[in-house]
Structure 1
């Protein structure tokens, strides 16, 4: 389980990115890089770091499922993820 502050920080960053998305796109299309540099740093989507939606783990993130490999494995074995089953051959 990640610290609550890290999870809250990610949420704040996602809100900031969404807030400035249209403005960033406009400035980029106009080539106004000076105006772009005056926006907040956290308005850039490249500063986001993917975290597990269940417990906030930052490593081993599986983008397709939105969770870490540990939670994926636990839920897959329990049959809670549709379309995923344990391989056997």
Structure 2
């Protein structure tokens, strides 16, 4: 799954300029002929360590599980466990 995600990222970046010009021109038939993986909508945020797609924390680029483990181990600066 991670390899597919990387492939989609490369394709999306490669066709971004062409996609923007076709969209601005309103040429939707030509847009349909572009590869499906070239669409930025098909990208999915994934954890940098595990590749998990769910529970993604955008600010840290980690899933909730890895964030919790790293925070408790003190590997994320400025993050402490709340206690009140």
> Which interval holds the TM-score relative to the shorter structure?
over 0.9
1:66 lines up with 2:67 in the alignment:
no
Determine helix, strand or coil for the equivalent of 1:35. Answer: helix
Q: Deviations over 1:31-60 (max 9, x none)?
A: 111111110000101111111110111211
Question: Which segments of 5 or more consecutive residues in structure 2 lack a partner in the other structure?
Answer: none
Superposition TM-score, scaled by structure 2 size = 0.93
Question: Which segments of 5 or more consecutive residues in structure 1 lack a partner in the other structure?
Answer: 1-5
- Where does residue 73 of structure 2 map in the other structure? 78
- Where does residue 52 of structure 2 map in the other structure? 57
Return the offset for 1:78.
1.2
Superposition TM-score, scaled by structure 1 size = 0.88
Q: Which consecutive segments of 4 or more residues in structure 1 shift more than 3 A?
A: none
Return the offset for 1:82.
2.1
Alpha-carbon RMSD = 0.9
